[in-house]
A and B are shown apart, each in its own frame.
Chain A
């Protein structure tokens, strides 16, 4: 699969990463290199192997369903740019 410059720009936009035309071209070359590696790996016969979803072959540990956190709103909000009535204020998101 080959990657186009438009693909790179689209992914950058989705990820909210601002890149210049030059950076986009540079990224295209780097990403295409990674795609090349993936192509090589895909040529390996793996039909009898169960895919891993994580690099480590260990399983998730679970915690008991219990409330362990206390209210630290004041501490957390002390570093927020703007708060009011306990709410974090952000630029208006709907018009």
Chain B
């Protein structure tokens, strides 16, 4: 039988506020244990939560970016369960009337060279507080509790089960990851747990429209693990069904070392959270004017920018996707393309190619690219006007990169940038292409005289010999000859 995998994702994005969602404690990562856990976070008697405007504002920003409905009033609820890193005995979350309801994410999938679009619908995105951390290393048979993370604002983004493969789920997660950073609501740092995925996975016979029993895989903190965990889980479920068994709904953990998922110890009543509206928190009202204000401050969204890149610059979906991976990247590209409006594709190739590779190599972002867009644009201009070949340009690029200082300052704020760096290098090393036809003809003649055997072979009909001669001319010109021109002159001379 053919099986279809059905996947829905729940993503916890940690919101980039200075202070916690219900207290004035800091959210900075890496503090000494419990140094950022205040009386509210510890749930000491008599404390009350007060909602952080910055957390709500970020949730609204997200809602607007995915075309969702912003609920007003929106309500906070208590989700009840007992665990030592949750001192209150409940997590403040949202159940009915989450801040964000509905919305969708557009996926661009490039697979086997084919480009497809797909829409993933969102169920909701709600605000909640994070729990603390339990450390199970040995403290004389006890567990250590660090409550610094308790009360950190999270936006839980829940999708419909609209994905049909691990690859689609990864594309969705990546686009969401790029979106939350793009609109500045989350730093997206997966190592620090700022962006965590839970995957709901089920399988069903191909063509069926009934959903199978699902399992939830918790806490996938890398895209690779997300993909592996889903693939493993789908195979596991298919095997059970093909052997005539039934899937048990359960929560599972992914073990990256074994590449397997395994059942978490599940308590009978674990899922009974007895949600009810939190009497400590009044309903949240979000005025139309607040929403308008947030909307005005929203940057151009990646989806709109991709469409514009495809439409205005004539780029492929693949290029548009790569260039809008983050805002730094797209800003850099646009600054280059602005200076070279007649060849946006050449700009795209260099930004995604050389620049990207050099930056990766040094672990830098586009914002801190040592070469400014203007410096790169001049180099590309010299390819366009025939001063240098693409091959020589790569060499010039390498030298440019080596000459600029590695100061850690955004290219947007640099002063006294040498915008003629490319020209200076080309000039000082005599790298200009020989396009003077007299000089080229002289070179070609020398090569023909020195290689009578190749000339004879060519005249006998061997086209390969021609290429060998072109190579000889280019070598004699130290790569500085214009290849098209060399071809032309050579052919003319050989057929004379």
Task: List the B side residues contacting A63 at CB < 8 Å.
Answer: 24, 50-53
Asked if A60 and B282 sit within 8 Å, CB to CB, the answer is: yes
Task: List the A side residues contacting B23 at CB < 8 Å.
Answer: 69
Asked if B53 and A87 sit within 8 Å, CB to CB, the answer is: no
**Which residues in chain A, 30-72, are within 8 Å of chain B measured between CB atoms?**
53-56, 58-69, 71-72
CA distance A10 to B284 in the complex (A): 33
Report the nearest A residue to B28, measured CB to CB: A67
Asked if A59 and B34 sit within 8 Å, CB to CB, the answer is: no
CB of B56 within 8 A of chain A?
yes
Task: List the A side residues contacting B274 at CB < 8 Å.
Answer: 11, 14-15
CA distance A73 to B143 in the complex (A): 18
CB of B110 within 8 A of chain A?
no
Asked if A90 and B277 sit within 8 Å, CB to CB, the answer is: no
Task: List the A side residues contacting B24 at CB < 8 Å.
Answer: 63, 66-69
Asked if B42 and A92 sit within 8 Å, CB to CB, the answer is: no
Selecting from B75-83, B116-124, B353-361, B462-470, the interface stretch reads B75-83
CA distance A38 to B135 in the complex (A): 45
Asked if B56 and A62 sit within 8 Å, CB to CB, the answer is: yes
Report the nearest A residue to B81, measured CB to CB: A14
Judged by DSSP, the binding face of B is: loop
CB of A3 within 8 A of chain B?
no
Asked if B18 and A90 sit within 8 Å, CB to CB, the answer is: no
Report the nearest A residue to B22, measured CB to CB: A63
Asked if B37 and A54 sit within 8 Å, CB to CB, the answer is: no
Asked if B53 and A53 sit within 8 Å, CB to CB, the answer is: no
Task: List the A side residues contacting B282 at CB < 8 Å.
Answer: 54, 56, 58-61
Interface residues in A, total, Cβ within 8 A: 39
Asked if B145 and A87 sit within 8 Å, CB to CB, the answer is: yes
Interface residues in B, total, Cβ within 8 A: 55
CB of B130 within 8 A of chain A?
no
CA distance A11 to B80 in the complex (A): 12
**Which residues in chain B, 1-52, are within 8 Å of chain A measured between CB atoms?**
17-19, 23-26, 32-39, 42, 44, 50-52
CB of B84 within 8 A of chain A?
yes
CB of A82 within 8 A of chain B?
yes
B110 to chain A: closest CB distance in Å?
Answer: 39
Task: List the B side residues contacting A76 at CB < 8 Å.
Answer: 34, 37, 39, 42, 44
CB of B142 within 8 A of chain A?
yes
CB of B54 within 8 A of chain A?
yes
Judged by DSSP, the binding face of A is: loop
Task: List the B side residues contacting A1 at CB < 8 Å.
Answer: none
A92 to chain B: closest CB distance in Å?
Answer: 5
Task: List the A side residues contacting B269 at CB < 8 Å.
Answer: 10, 13-14
Interface string of A71-95 (1 = CB under 8 A from B): 1110011000010111111111110
Task: List the B side residues contacting A72 at CB < 8 Å.
Answer: 38-39
Complex partner residue of B285 from A15, A59, A66, A68, CB under 8 angstroms: A59
CA distance A60 to B56 in the complex (A): 12
Asked if B136 and A92 sit within 8 Å, CB to CB, the answer is: yes
Asked if B142 and A92 sit within 8 Å, CB to CB, the answer is: yes
Report the nearest A residue to B89, measured CB to CB: A16
Known: A60-B283, A92-B142. A86 touches B56 (CB 8 A): no
Task: List the B side residues contacting A88 at CB < 8 Å.
Answer: 34, 144-145, 147
Task: List the B side residues contacting A92 at CB < 8 Å.
Answer: 136, 141-143
Task: List the A side residues contacting B272 at CB < 8 Å.
Answer: 14
CB of B233 within 8 A of chain A?
no
Task: List the B side residues contacting A10 at CB < 8 Å.
Answer: 269
Known: A72-B38, A89-B139. A67 touches B51 (CB 8 A): no
Asked if B34 and A65 sit within 8 Å, CB to CB, the answer is: no
Task: List the A side residues contacting B73 at CB < 8 Å.
Answer: 53, 59
Complex partner residue of A87 from B96, B135, B277, CB under 8 angstroms: B135
Known: A53-B73, A88-B145, A91-B143. A61 touches B50 (CB 8 A): yes
Which of A64, A69, A94 gathers the greatest number of chain B CB atoms within 10 Å?
A69
CB of B279 within 8 A of chain A?
yes
CB of B146 within 8 A of chain A?
yes
CB of B134 within 8 A of chain A?
yes
Report the nearest A residue to B144, measured CB to CB: A87
A71 to chain B: closest CB distance in Å?
Answer: 5
Known: A14-B269, A65-B54, A92-B141. A85 touches B277 (CB 8 A): no
CA distance A67 to B24 in the complex (A): 5
Asked if A90 and B142 sit within 8 Å, CB to CB, the answer is: yes
Known: A14-B272, A67-B26, A69-B23. A60 touches B141 (CB 8 A): no
Asked if B142 and A91 sit within 8 Å, CB to CB, the answer is: yes
Task: List the A side residues contacting B140 at CB < 8 Å.
Answer: 89
Task: List the A side residues contacting B315 at CB < 8 Å.
Answer: none
CB of B281 within 8 A of chain A?
yes
Asked if A66 and B135 sit within 8 Å, CB to CB, the answer is: no
Could you pull out 6 A-B pairs where Cβ atoms are within 8 angstroms?
A76-B34, A86-B33, A86-B146, A89-B140, A92-B141, A93-B134
Further pairs besides A60-B285, A63-B52: 7, Cβ < 8 Å: A54-B283, A61-B50, A61-B282, A69-B26, A87-B34, A93-B83, A94-B134
B interface residues, Cβ below 8 angstroms from A: 17-19, 23-26, 32-39, 42, 44, 50-56, 73, 75, 80, 82-84, 96-97, 134-136, 139-147, 265, 269, 272, 274, 277, 279, 281-285
The 4 A-B pairs at the shortest CB distance, nearest first, are namely A65-B54, A68-B24, A87-B144, A86-B33
